[in-house]
Structure formats: structure tokens, C-alpha cells
Amino acid sequence: MNASIQTRYKLLSTITEFIDLSPENPDHYIVEMDAPQIAADCRPGQFIHALPPKVELMLRRPFSLLTTDKNKGSISILFRVMGEGTQAMADLQPGDKLDIIGPLGNGFPMDLTKPALIAGGGVGIPPLVYLAEKFIEAGYSPDNCFVFLGARNTETMLCVADFRSMGIEPYLASEDGSMGTKGFITHSLNEHRDKIPSGAVVYSCGPVPMLAAIAGWSGKNNLECYVSMENKLGCGIGACLGCSIPVRHDDTIRYDRVCCDGPAFNSKDVAFDLIAKHHY
């Protein structure tokens, strides 16, 4: 996949709403912000690069888009506190300013001629809400848009209500068995395989081991699959090469940049075996 020429904006955005998802999802937050240019131009699977406030010498952090509203000129993100940068983000309040760049990256290539199978895990779930919204806007129904979600437990199972509000009842899998199928998301996919029409296209976002499993499952079931890869980003615009992953091009391995060649890749092109060896 080649990086496309795209418009991106650097904004000092105003926080319009801040939601703490506790106690259902502790340490998870939704931030809505004013960003009319990004709301007008972004696509599912793209992200913003935000500079966490109140932290000296801090690199930007990537955040996938949860929702956009062109009429309001707003975007929202959902994140989990995982370190110093996201802890600073958790201290934001309405009226605060946030330095952001976006929209960045190549999003999912939506095929509106085939059923959609959306599969997400953990903090990889939020951007799939935006993707599902676009399929519903395009005329899809629960009969041709299927959602599978995986998480460790109830506290890390995100956005179930968002999918239900679209009329989609997601199939759930939790490692502790507290929600839906006990086990991994692939266990749920196997359990409900007969409900998935042939020719469906898989769109997935989540931790790399989950994406590797989804890619393998899709290959065994002869389904086209796109995965939104994650990696640590430095610049977010393709200059530093720090987010590169091994991707197969014909008979050779090339290192593509997650931030601009992706983050969405055709799963058959991603060299998951080499990613595991290099501990990405």
C-alpha cells in the first residue's frame, strides 16, 4: 500500500466534552473536541496526533477517531490511560486546548458491494464504531454488517452500546467469560461462522496478536481482510521511519510505515511472522 497524498491540519482544538467512562470502564475516557477541518476530511481508520498537555518534552500520541460530526465540526476519541502521556490527557477539561494534527494515515478501503465483518479488541474497538456508522449510512443493515468484539473482561469491553444504537447486536468474547463467549475473538468467530455470509470482507483493529489471529482465521475461511496495525509512532507523518513494519510485496519484504502507508493494510501483505520475531 502506498501513502496517499492527503490534506492534514494542525489545530489548537478546544475540548467541548470530557467523559469519564468509570466505573464500567475504569481508566477509559472520551474526549470531544472542536476540529471542523478534520471532521470534514477524515475517513474511518485515520487518526489524529495529539500533543499531551502539561508534560515537558513529550512526543505526540496517536488516537484513532471514535466519531465525527461534520455539522458540529467536532471529532471524538476514546483512550485508556497507559502512561504519562495519556495520564496528562485524562486531566483535560472542557474549554482546555489540545494541539492536534490530522487526519493522518490511510484508512480502511470500504467495499460497499460486499457484507462487512467488523472485528475489534480492547482500545482497537473505538475506531470501528466510526467504520460501522459509515456502513450504516451507506445503507447496510444488521443482515450485512456483523460486529465481533473481544476483551479481557467486562471492564475492557468497549462501545457495545454504540453498536446497539445502530441496530447491530455485537457478538462478544471475553477471556474471563464475563461477557459472551469465553475465550478469544476467534473462538466467537468460529462459534458463529454459519451466520457470516460468504464473500464478506473483514475489517479489524486491536492488539497485534489479535490481528495476526484474525488474519489467519480470514485466510482459512477465504475472506478478504484488512487490519489496522498499531506501533509506536514518532512523527506520525512518515519522516522518522520508527513505526515501520515488514510487509510482503511480490516476493520481497519491504518495511512500510504504519503512520502513512497504513495503518490499514491488507492482512495477506503483513508479515506477521516477522513482526513476532522482532517483538513489535
DSSP assignment of 104-161: ESB-----TTS-EEEEEEGGGSHHHHHHHHHHHHTT--TTTEEEEEEESSGGG---HH
Is the same domain home to 215 and 138? yes
Last residue within a domain, chosen from 76, 104, 132: 104
Is the same domain home to 61 and 181? no
Residue 71: how many other CB atoms lie within 10 Å: 7
For the four alpha carbons of 7, 12, 18 and 21, in that order, the dihedral sign comes to positive
CA-wise closest residue to 147 among 137, 130, 156: 130
Whole domain around residue 222: which residue ranges?
Answer: 116-277
CATH number at residue 198: 3.40.50.80
CATH number at residue 52: 2.40.30.10
- Tell me the whole-structure pTM to 2 decimals: 0.93
Is the same domain home to 144 and 90? no
Is the same domain home to 254 and 145? yes
Is the same domain home to 77 and 34? yes
Is the same domain home to 139 and 248? yes
Last residue within a domain, chosen from 79, 104, 129: 104
Is the same domain home to 127 and 98? no
Statement: residue 240 has pLDDT above 90: no
Where residue 114 falls (left for φ over 0; alpha for ψ -120 to 50; beta otherwise) is beta
> Which of 3-7, 9-13, 179-183 shows the lowest mean pLDDT across its residues?
3-7
Inside any domain, residue 111: no
pLDDT per residue as tens digits for the range 61-114: 999 999 999 999 999 999 999 988 899 999 999 999 999 999 999 999 999 999
Q: How many domains does the chain have?
A: 2
pLDDT per residue as tens digits for the range 100-123: 999 999 999 999 999 999 999 999
Inside any domain, residue 109: no
Which amino acid is it at 52? P
Is the same domain home to 35 and 164? no
Inside any domain, residue 1: no
Which amino acid is it at 216? G
pLDDT at 57: 54
Is the same domain home to 66 and 153? no
In the block, cell 482546555 appears at 96
Is the same domain home to 100 and 236? no
